[in-house]
Chains A and B, each alone.
Chain A
Amino acid sequence: MKMEDMPLSGPDNTKLEALVNDIYSELVEDACLGLCFEVHRAVKQGYFFLDETDQESMKEFEIVDQPGVDIFGQVYNQWKNKECECPNCKRLIAASRFAPHLEKCLGMGRNSSRIANRRLASNNNTSKSESDQEDNDDLNDNDWSYGAEKRAKKRKSDKSQNSPRRSKTLKHKNGELGSSMSADPYKYNYNAGINYEMLGPDEVRSFLTTQCGVISEHTKKMCTRSQRCPQHTDEQRMAVRVFLLGPSAPVLPEADSVAGPESFDIPDGQALMSRLQWEDSPEISPSDSASSKASTNHSDSRRPKKKKRPPLGLNSGGGIGSLSGGGGSGGSQTNISLSTKKKKPKLTAPSISSIYDDLN
């Protein structure tokens, strides 16, 4: 071997170079052949074109390189408006609100269990009532009690706020009450008289010079706002003054009978008002009559309010009556009140006129 190599490599370099090239091309052909085998095998096994996709899908999955989006072209704070479906109530809830909602929905919070139970109960009610009506009697009761509770609450809140709506809703009731009670004017007056006896005539007078004083139907208390209080009409104020200070024993029931029914007409009211004024104060000033007229006109423009007035007195009277206690004590007090009523006009008639003068 050595002997063979030596002489051959020695003499000519070109032969050696040719040999080197041969070896090289052999190697390259080897590599090509290897590749060919590989490709052929892939073709025959069917996986040669697996990585091939058409141009459209290639474009679809192109990497996006734009500011504000990720490589898939999506905005990255997309999770913010993601919504999840609640597994309990099947509603879509914003992801950020999901946990609190679930807590409530599944009834794991403090109050939520009650809410959930109630909801469940009501659901059961509706579904059951279709199928059988006997079983859900108690459930219905539950529902009723809940509703009643709610209603009671509503009423309470209505009472607490001194809304005109409330007085309107109670108007009819009072009207009925008034019609039944107006048959006995003395009783009515007695009831009202007792109330303000407690204050004392001087106190009442001083109170009425500065405050509105209209008696609330519900609280049975006098309005402590100023004389110009917008909640009550001038007419109401006047009625209260006449009622408390004036000689109104025969007058007010009459006014009630006139004002009570729906057919309240202006001339009557005006006449009544003027009569009230005249009876209250013999020497009435023109301004007084004007004010009374204005008040009547004012009240005429709002008729429904007018109806409110007589019940107001009645209601308060009724309330006081019950307060003072019925039975034997009531009888004795009637006498007292009547006697005070008789005394009152003489005492208060001049003072009322002075009040109105002050007012005007």
Chain B
Amino acid sequence: MSKDYQLKASINQKLIEMGERERLKELLRAKLVESGWKDQLKAHCKDVVREKGLEHVTVEDLVTEVTPKGRALVPDNVKKELLQRIRAFLAQHTAL
């Protein structure tokens, strides 16, 4: 367990160090905007905000409401591409 955690932490650090994480993030954002995912989620956010009332909305509310939907709505091709990129990165760095 600790080993996994250690491994994960080391990989994350590597991602950040190499700047790969930023690159992936930017890629994902572009892809999601392109695919309309952002607009869909925004429309969902509007519903949530209306439901809760303009004054009573918190970030936590939004996150709990939006995240599951956001995860589900990511297009398959975007997901595949991203996974591919991550795998390639890991393979490259474990190979070294």
Q: A and B: partners?
A: yes
State how many angstroms separate the Cβ of B27 from the closest Cβ of chain A: 9
A20 near B90: Cβ-Cβ < 8 Å: yes
Q: Which residue of B lies closest to A32 (CB)?
A: B70
Q: Which of B7-53 contact A (CB under 8 A)?
A: 7-8, 10-12, 14-15, 21, 24-25, 28-29, 32, 38, 41-42, 45-46, 49
Q: Are B41's CB and A5's CB within 8 A?
A: no
**Least CB separation from A52: chain B residue:** B46
For A72, the chain B residues whose CB sits under 8 A away are: none
Docked CA distance A76–B6 (Å): 72
How far is A28 from B86 in the complex, measured between Cα atoms in Å?
13
- B96 part of interface (Cβ distance < 8 Å): yes
Distance to closest chain B CB from A135 (angstroms): 73
Interface residues of B in 47-71 (CB under 8 A from A): 49, 54, 57-59, 62-63, 66-67, 70-71
Q: Give the distance to chain B from A25, nearest Cβ to Cβ, in Å.
A: 7
Q: How far is the CA of A31 from the CA of B73 in the complex (A)?
A: 12
- B38 and A24 form a contact (CB under 8 A): no
Q: Tell me if A43 and B90 are in contact (CB < 8 A).
A: no
- Count how many chain B residues have C-beta atoms less than 8 Å from C-beta atoms of the other chain: 42
Contact B62 A20 (CB under 8 A): no
* Contact of A48 with B83 in the complex, beta carbons under 8 Å: no
- A5 and B9 CA atoms in complex are apart in Å by 11
Q: Report how far A16 CA is from B87 CA in the complex, Å.
A: 8
Which interface residue of B3, B12, B59, B83 has the most chain A CB atoms within 10 A?
B59
- Asked if A4 is an interface residue, CB under 8 A from chain B, the answer is yes
Q: Which residues of B contact A40 (CB under 8 A)?
A: 57-59, 62
The answer to whether A32 touches B4 (Cβ under 8 A) is no
Chain A residues with CB under 8 A of B58:
40
**By the criterion CB–CB under 8 Å, are B86 and A23 in contact?**
yes
How far apart are B45's CB and chain A's nearest CB, in angstroms?
4
- Whether A36 pairs with B6 at a CB distance below 8 angstroms is no
Q: Could you tell me if A8 and B42 are in contact, using CB atoms closer than 8 angstroms?
A: no
A275 to B10, CA, bound (A): 152
Contact across chains for A21 and B41 when beta carbons are under 8 A apart: no
10 of the cross-chain contacts (CB-CB < 8 Å) are A8-B94, A23-B11, A30-B25, A31-B32, A32-B63, A32-B66, A36-B45, A36-B63, A39-B49, A44-B57
Contact A27 B82 (CB under 8 A): yes
Sorted nearest first, the 9 A-B pairs with minimum C-beta distance are A9-B94, A32-B70, A36-B62, A39-B45, A32-B67, A20-B86, A40-B59, A5-B94, A36-B63
